[in-house]
Structure 1
Amino acid sequence: MSSLALNADNFNDITVSTKTGNERFYNQLVSAYSNDLHRYAYWLSGDKHTAEDLVQETLLRAWKSLNRLQDRKAAKGWLMTILRRENARRFERKQLQQSDIPLEELSAAETTYDTSTEAFVLRRAMDELPDEYREPLVKQIIGGYSQKEIASQLGITSAGVGTRLFRARQKLRDMLAA
């Protein structure tokens, strides 16, 4: 990876109106953010192969709509949003019609474990975290930002972010265990 590919500020130097400019800009996006996309996709899916598929679909959608990206400095957030939506589409495609479920499985399907309660409890626990712990945790988990990126956004050291992330997770564990 070149230093040009890793510096989002240099994205503005490329004219996207030409096909060559589009390709160069797209290649720089892929070089700069593919690792972050893979990490986030793996976090969302929990499976390496599914994560790879999600990233492929994300990059395909990004290529098709590259001309819609208005602020090049927001490219990472734009890609993460595409990835998150692609992950949601994965579940939309997999939803079964009730008629697709055999009758003998209907009673078992009705007694399956409901994860919406867990999500509700987790959200409440996250809301109870002090801002100094919640903010870096959300940026890392939902935003897919690295410790260094979070540090620069919050104006603290990378070690400080690591400490806050550790404490946030510990506080969540304690709250959820109670």
Structure 2
Amino acid sequence: MKGTEPDAGVLVRVAEGDAGALTELYERYGGPLFAFLNRLAGDRGTAEEVLQDTLLAVWRSAGTFQGRSSVSTWLFGVARRQAHNRLRRVPPPAAAEPCDRADGLPGPEELAVGGDWLEAALARLPLAQREVVVLHFLDDMAHQDIAEVLGIPVGTVKSRLHHARTKLRECLHEQMA
């Protein structure tokens, strides 16, 4: 049964040129990958384009998967590289704003009724910190998996999380003031 086939088996089929297997991977991981990319890019259209680039890269490089990590970790790594390639060319507009500028962000009233201050605060984090926050808190990845996706030591993941929490806390305090 294809729906319960392990991810590694589906990836082998992708490497063999099975387009249906790529569709199956998309059905399994498209949502989480898009959410990750959308938070990195800060723009839905860019995230959609990067997801397409990611699927093309998976199609072309599925045969290089060596099983040293889970398929999901490998997919997030491919998506991250594609996002970095795209964002190097066109940086996200919100990422350039410093955290101490409150222009355009929701005030306490909007926060009280469900305003999305977190998305605005995430957009203000440096990309390296935003990645670890999104992977850890929003995609529920363990520190070791994040380290594999990003190609950095676990200690660096922890350090980036620490700095990101501090910056997010500062942004929240600004919004509550």
TM-score norm. by structure 1 comes to 0.50
Larger radius of gyration: 1
- Taking only aligned residues, the RMSD between alpha carbons, in angstroms, comes to 4.5
Displacement of 1:16: 3.6
Structure 1's 44 and 172: CA in aligned 2 closer, same or farther, altered over 3 A?
closer
CA distance in 1, matches of 2:64, 2:33: 19
Aligned to 1:34: 30
Structure 1: distance between partners of 2:60 and 2:171: 44
Instruction: Mark the CA change 1:30 to 1:144 in structure 2 (over 3 Å): closer, same or farther.
Output: farther
Tell whether the 8 Å contact from 2:53 to 2:82 is kept in structure 1 after alignment.
yes
1:80 aligns with 2:76: yes
- Quote the Cα distance in structure 2 between the aligned partners of 1:142 and 1:62: 19
**Does 1:64 pair with 2:60?**
yes
Q: Is the 8 A contact 2:54 2:78 kept in 1?
A: yes
CA contact (8 A) 2:15 2:59 kept: no
Other-structure match for 2:135: 142
Counterpart Cα distance in 2 of 1:91 and 1:18: 27
CA distance in 2, matches of 1:27, 1:73: 21
| Residues 1:10 and 2:6 are matched in the alignment | yes
Name the aligned partner's letter for residue 142 of structure 1. L
Residue aligned with 2:76, SS: helix
TM-score, normalised with respect to structure 2: 0.50
- Provide the C-alpha distance between the structure 2 equivalents of 1:37 and 1:13, rounded to a whole number of angstroms: 20
Q: Does the 8 Å contact 1:61/1:82 carry over to 2?
A: yes
Q: Tell me the SS of whatever aligns to 1:142.
A: helix
The structure-2 alpha-carbon separation of the partners of 1:145 and 1:173, relative to structure 1 and needing over 3 Å to count, comes to closer
Q: % of aligned pairs identical?
A: 24
Q: Quickly say closer, same or farther: Cα 1:51–1:94, change in 2 above 3 A.
A: closer
- 3-state SS of paired residue (2:66): coil
Which blocks of at least 5 consecutive residues in structure 2 are unaligned? Answer: 100-123, 146-163
Greater RCO, 1 or 2 (C-alpha within 8 Å, sep 6+): 2
CA contact (8 A) 1:41 1:55 kept: yes
